[in-house]
Each structure stands twice: as C-alpha cells, then as structure tokens.
C-alpha cells in the first residue's frame, strides 16, 4: 500500500445514527443510563428530543473506517477524546489523515489523526490511531 504523510483515509459514512442501536447496545452492556433510550431525560439536559449514542458506538465508526482502509487486524493503538455527544439522527462521517509513517519491530506503521464529522459542528469525537499498513 502506497501511503504518505498528509494522505486522507477513505471516509466511512453513517447516514443516520439509529436509536434502536443505542437501546440494543444499552441492553448488551447492561447500561442503565436512560440517556441512551429515554428522550425526555435527554431533553431536560438541553439536547432536545434525542437519545445519546454510547461512546463505544461512536468509536466503532472510526474503527470501521480504519479496518476498511488497512484490514481487520491492523489497529495497534487508538487514543480518543469525547468532547461532544453524538445524537440519534445525526449524520456522522468518520475521517482521518496520515500524520507520520514509521517502522517499528519490522512493521510499517501509519500514525493518523481521526475524528467524527457532523454537519456544522466541531467533531464530537477526535483522537489519534496507529495502524499497521498492509504489505
């Protein structure tokens, strides 16, 4: 794979964050927090009639992007900040850019900035990742 610093990672698109997935994830994780399934609770917090996506689901959009780009066993490290909530109905696009290429223990690695893009707002999740580049 021919990759250089400054290259953009192919975007991964989630046209609409679905509240059903949040409820399912809350059940799987045994997460009793009503922000993931009760719109009235979220409205009282000032986010309107929405539910709030779990952080791991938002992170998974970026993992999907990295796996689609470099393969399912490529991720070596991820660091993530969660400055804003992702809400049901949001159109989210996982994006990234290569910041460095290096060799470590015989592997060719790409360090990347990664983030979620949402129309008209600062990224609700942002961080960095290191992936092994395919031969």
Residue 69 inside a domain? The answer is: yes
Query: How many structural domains are present in the chain?
Result: 1
CATH code for the domain in which residue 83 is found:
3.10.129.10
Residue 25 inside a domain? The answer is: no
The pLDDT confidence band at residue 22, using thresholds 50, 70 and 90, is confident
Per mean pLDDT, which range of 15-29, 38-52, 66-80 is the poorest?
A: 15-29
Sheet harboring 75-81: ordered strands across? 8-14, 92-104, 107-118, 126-132, 75-81
Residue 40 inside a domain? The answer is: no
Contact 103, 43 (CB under 8 A): no
Enclosing domain of residue 69:
8-17+57-132
In this prediction the pTM is 0.91
Average pLDDT of the residues in 32-36: 89
């Amino acid at each position: 794979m021919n990759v250089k610093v400054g290259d953009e990672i192919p975007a991964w698109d989630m046209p609409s964050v679905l509240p059903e997935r949040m409820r399912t994830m809350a059940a799987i994780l045994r997460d009793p927090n009503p922000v993931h399934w009760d719109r009235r609770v979220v409205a009282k917090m000032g986010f309107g009639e929405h539910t709030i996506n779990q952080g791991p689901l938002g992170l998974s959009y970026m993992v999907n992007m990295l796996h689609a780009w470099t393969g399912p066993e490529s991720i070596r490290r991820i660091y993530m900040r969660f400055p804003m909530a992702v809400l049901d109905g949001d159109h989210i696009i996982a994006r990234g850019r290569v910041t460095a290429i290096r060799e470590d223990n015989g592997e060719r690695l790409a360090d990347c900035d990664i983030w979620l893009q949402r129309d008209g707002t600062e990224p609700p999740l942002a961080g960095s990742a290191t992936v092994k580049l395919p031969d």
